[in-house]
Amino acid sequence: MSNIRERAVASAPAKAILFGEHFVVYGKPAIAVALNRRVRATSTLNDRGEIRVRSMLGYSSIPLASIHGPHSYEHDPHRHIIFSVQSVMNALNEHVGVDILLESDFPYGMGLGASAATSIATIASVSSLLGGMSRDQVFRLSLEAERLVHRNPSGIDSAICTYGGLVLFKDGRIERLDGRGYLHDLRFMIVNSGIMKDTGSMVMKVKARGESSREEFSSLTEMSEALTMQALYAMKCNDVARIGKLLTLNHLLLRRLGVSNDTLDAIVRDAIASGAYGAKLTGAGGGGCVISLIDGSRSKVLFDALSRYETFISGIEEEGVMLYSVDDV
């Protein structure tokens, strides 16, 4: 018990997928970016032998003694957080009551990686409370929590929210692109459609589509891979206009896949009509957010055109998961 601290704070960034979502689940490449919005997890020891979680999803409290695997809390809105805490306790062999407070400045269920970011911030903060863990271990435990929520995640959300920056992800391999000659001063506008989506069911929908229209699915898969590789090249050449065009093509491809809707299509159209280089839905689709690549000097025009939606601007957030010294917060 000697390594145990009273309180620990960690945060993890939001993310957006720029290229290759859905097909990344089938081992194809994808590019994702960390955004300048974060979720912060504060963990404090309690002497009640309970895991207690408070977030914008509500309040949960579960005695450690009543936990016999994830089915003990399968209907809890914080089940991936409770699962994350349990995995840390099992890994570090310390089982103590802990309170977790989650404060986020980006919304849940909108394709910005809230489930991965909350589990990563929780794992980092609880592990720091109980003795510490490496960043790679945080990533691995968060993948397990993501499996609980999304059934068959590719791992890209956990990767980008743990390591930050601009990342190429393929088959579980993570390559940081920023700082390696790839463009890093991109500016994005994120537009929230206000329509909640469920990643797990969108992934299942795409799977069913792949099974019922094999040929079309395989040509969409090839196109997604080609777009992602062209985007990688455009980033290397600092060709912002080309990246924008490829983003819009990626949106059309996702629309063909059946994961867009009228609201997302209208946001993409409005963003481009107002001067964005390109725009697309980001993440699982069915709702959530649109990401557009913009020229900072045109942001006022874009804000005005999309003023009925919640929007924010972000560059590439370099920092992934971060631990704070308790004296700093």
Which residues contribute to the site for ligand MEV (CB under 6 A)?
17, 21-22, 24-25, 150, 153-154, 156-157, 199, 203, 283-284
Q: Which is nearer to ligand MEV, 196 or 237 (CB)?
A: 196
Position with the least CB separation from ligand MEV: 154
For ligand MEV, the closer of residues 156 and 291 by Cβ is 156
**Minimum separation from the CB atom of position 197 to ligand MEV (A):** 10
Indicate the residue among 25 and 138 with the shorter CB distance to ligand MEV.
25
Residue 198 or 295 with smaller CB distance to ligand MEV: 198
CB of 222 to ligand MEV, least distance (A): 17
Separation between Cα atoms, residue 271 and residue 189, nearest integer Å: 9
Nearer to ligand MEV, 11 or 224 (CB): 224
**In the complex, minimum distance from the CB of residue 258 to ligand MEV, in angstroms, rounded to a whole number:** 13
User: Least distance (Å) from ligand MEV to the CB of residue 313?
Assistant: 21
Smallest separation (angstroms) from ligand MEV to the CB of 113: 6
- Closest distance between ligand MEV and the C-beta of residue 329, in Å? 29
Which C-beta is closer to ligand MEV: that of 64 or that of 149? Answer: 149
Token reading at 137: 């271990």
